[in-house]
Amino acid sequence: MLGARTLLHAALAASLLACASARGPEPEPTPEPDPWRPFNHAMFSVNDALDRFLVGPVAKGWIFVTPETVRVHLEQFYDNLNFPGYFVQPLLQGDPKQSGIALARFGVNSTAGLAGFFDPANHWLGLARRPEDMGQTFGVWGSGPGPYLVLPFLLPASSARDAAGFPIDSALNIGDSALISWVVPGIWPATLLRTINRRALADEDLRELREASFDWYSAVRDGYLQRREVLIRNDGDDSEEAPSDDLYELDESDSLPE
Amino acid sequence: MISTSSTRAILFPSSWLALCALLLAVALPAHADERVESARGFMSKTVSDVLAILDDKQLAPDVRLSKLESIALERFDFPRMALLVLGKNRRKLDDAQLEQFQVEFKRSLSNTYGKKLDRYTSNEKIEMGDARLESNKDVTVKTRVVGGEAGDGVSIDYRLREIEGGDWLIIDVTPAGVSLIQNFRSQVQEIVTQKGVGALIKTLHEKNEAADKQATAAK
Give the nearest partner residue to B178 out of A227, A251, A257, using CB atoms.
Answer: A227
Q: Give the ipTM.
A: 0.80
For residue A257, give the 3-state DSSP assignment: coil
- The per-residue pLDDT for A52 is 94
* Model confidence pLDDT, tens digit, residues A115-144: 999 999 998 998 989 999 999 999 999 999
> How far apart are alpha carbons B69 and B117 in whole angstroms?
9
In a mutational test of the B interface, the residue from A19, A208, A209, A248 whose CB has the highest number of chain B CBs within 10 Å is A248
pLDDT band, very low/low/confident/very high, at A110 (cuts 50, 70, 90)? very high
Say if the Cβ atoms of B17 and A8 lie within 8 Å. yes
Does residue A27 carry a pLDDT above 60? Answer: no
| Kind of pairing between the strands at B125-133 and B139-146 | antiparallel
Task: Name the pTM for this structure.
Answer: 0.82
Q: Does the pLDDT at position B44 exceed 70?
A: yes
| Interchain proximity B84–A250, CB inside 8 Å | yes
Instruction: Report which of A172, A161, A160 is spatially closest to residue A138, judged by C-alpha positions.
Output: A161
Examine the pLDDT at B113 and tell me if it is beyond 90.
no
Q: Tens digit of pLDDT for each residue in B177-217?
A: 999 999 999 999 999 999 999 999 999 999 999 888 877 77
Q: Tell me the pLDDT band of B13, cut-offs 50, 70 and 90.
A: low
**Three-state DSSP state, B175:** strand
- pLDDT category of residue A8 using cuts at 50, 70 and 90: very low
**Cα–Cα distance, B5 to B8 (Å, whole number):** 5
The answer to whether the beta carbons of residues A161 and A142 sit under 8 Å apart is no
Closest chain A residue by Cα to residue B94? A254
Q: Does A126 contact chain B (CB < 8 Å)?
A: no
**Cβ-Cβ contacts under 8 Å for B87 (sequence gap 6 or more):** B185, B188, B189
Name the more confident of B146 and A172.
A172
Task: Show residues of chain A in contact with B135, CB under 8 Å.
Answer: 22, 245
Given a cut of 70, whether residue A19 has pLDDT beyond it is no
